[in-house]
Every structure is written in structure tokens, then in C-alpha cells.
Structure 1
Amino acid sequence: MNRNQAMDLLKKHLKNKNLMKHCLAVEAVMAGLARHFGEDEEKWALAGLLHDIDYDFTKDDPQRHSLEGAKILEEAGLPEEVVYAVKVHNEAHGLPRNSLMDKALYSVDPLTGLITAAALIRPEKSLFAVNVESLMKRYGEKAFARGANRNAIAACTELGISMEEFMAIGLEAMQGIANELGLA
């Protein structure tokens, strides 16, 4: 499945514009991490783009979220490693994160929320007004971006990189699509 086909599939199932932007952000960061690790950028980006494909109809049922998405992706013929990464990004299922892609998606998902929130509190409302130092500070503030699971972000160390490096890769990737995210 190419990106255009993936976007069509996502738009078929996901109508929330902010959630669509979230998926674009996760796609960008996953692609950036794949480049960093020398992994398959296309597969990692697809996992990021499609990870919340079922959220419009599972948001009130965390036990179904990502399982329904995995079914959609499996039926669409996506590679098993992408389907599995999407399935295990929701820790509610207690499934092991085995691959580097699994671990990355789990940590990237909440990171994009933290980065977006950090941009939105700036007067400029721009990703370019954010830096890693400010992200680390905001990460430590429990009341800031409460929905961004700090434990999941911290699990980035399972990728063999520091949180600062992880945040730098994520921020740079999101800055690369700042216009699409409405945060230029």
C-alpha cells in the first residue's frame, strides 16, 4: 500500500481533523526514526499514519482501540509487522512490543501530543518556537499535556536512545510538516 492509498483508507475511517493532524505527526516522527535507525521508512511511516485509524469509533472503548484498527489494516493487506505495531501501541492489551517499530510507535504516539501542546502554548503557535530543552521542562510538568503518557515517552530508551535525542528527532520531523499541522 502506498501513501496515497493509506491516506484514502484513513480518511474513510477517520473524520476528526485534529486526530488526522495527530496521525500526520506520528507518521512524520516514525519516518524520522526509521531514517535514524536505517529501517524501512515507508513501513514505519505507514504504521504511524494509520495507528489510530479506528479511533473515531473506539475512543470510548480502550479495550477495542487498536484491535479494530489492526483488523482494518490486515483486511487492507498491510504487512504483518505494521498491523502488529498498530495493535500493540495500545498498552491496554498487554501485548509485548517486540520490534524496534513496535517500541517506536508506542513512544512516538504520546510524544507528538507533548510537542504539539508545547507549540500551542507559545504566542507564535509554532513548532519553530519549541526546542528540546523546553520539551524536557514541559515533560517534567505533570499538569502539562496530561494526556501525553510520560511512561510511554520514557520507554523511548528501549530504542537505545536518550529522551533528549528522541525528542530532537521528533521535533525536527514535526517541524518538517509544520504547515500541514497548522503549526508553522
Structure 2
Amino acid sequence: MTRNVTGHSGDSGGDGRDRDGEGRARNARPRDGLGRPLPYGAPGVARQPEGVVRGGEQTVREAQRLLDAGMPFHAHEVFEDAWKSGAEEERELWRGLAQLAVGLTHAARGNAVGGARLLRRGASWVGGFAGADGVGPYGIDVAGLVAWAEALAGRVDQGVDAAREAPRLLGA
């Protein structure tokens, strides 16, 4: 996406907002690892491409890579793609995982109240996918994630480092 002289990209919209190639409003500012906007021209972290269709195992693998790198905002986008493109019966799982990742994002940004709320909401959605052994689809450690989210939600006001606090999606 390129920006024109008036401060917005493309020639559609006319409202001064950045636009993607299809004319949809989309902020073109670079982002940091937690998805926070940086000034135009600053080096940022590459965004996750949107609308990528992955299988469940590939989604979990890519999201774990991003979580381990301290980029839960980007992991959230991977889960969001699965939520939007996956099988109907798994949408709540992916939505819950996206909420956990964005909850970690908010907690790491210092938004303790929002982070705790999102962590608890995500845990409630994901929790229903646990089998008798606590494991869900694709080997996801549902019981472990729920416990992690509840514990982190209880202490987000103490400060959170996204990379150190990253959950293990597949357990130990």
C-alpha cells in the first residue's frame, strides 16, 4: 500500500484515510510487535497477511511461532483467519483462541482490565472443546490454555511480557 501526497493511499474514499487496493479503509502505519501503530516511515513488524486459509495444524503451528516471538497480536490475526474460513463447528474454538491472543496483547500493552476480560472470555469459548483428557482438536491443550488464561487474568495488573507469558498451545 502506498500513501499519496494528501496522506492517504489510493484515490477512493476522499476522507483522508489509508485505503487498501480495493478501497477499504485500512491503516497503513507500521506496527510494533504488539500491533500498536508507529509513526509513518518508522520501521515496524511485518503484518500478517489477511484471509489466509490454513489447515488446523498449520494454524496452530503459525500462531505458536508468533506467540513465542512475543507477537500475540499477529497470532490473533492467524486465529481470526481460521475463525472466518474454518468449519462451522470449529469457529468458536478459533474465536476463543483469537480472544486469548488479543487478551495477551492487551495485557502486554498495559490494559489490565481489557486484557483480563478478553482472557476470561476466550477461556470460556475454548473450554467447551476439551475432551475427557483436556485435549481438543489438533492436539490443542484446552485444559492447559484455560488454566493459563485464568491465572494470567488474575495477575495482569502486575505487568505482562508477551514473549515470556506466551501459552503452549499443544502443552508441554
TM-score by length of 2: 0.32
Which structure is higher in RCO with an 8 Å CA cutoff and minimum separation 6?
1
Larger helix fraction of residues: 1
TM-score, scaled relative to structure 1: 0.30
Which of structures 1 and 2 has the bigger CA Rg? 2
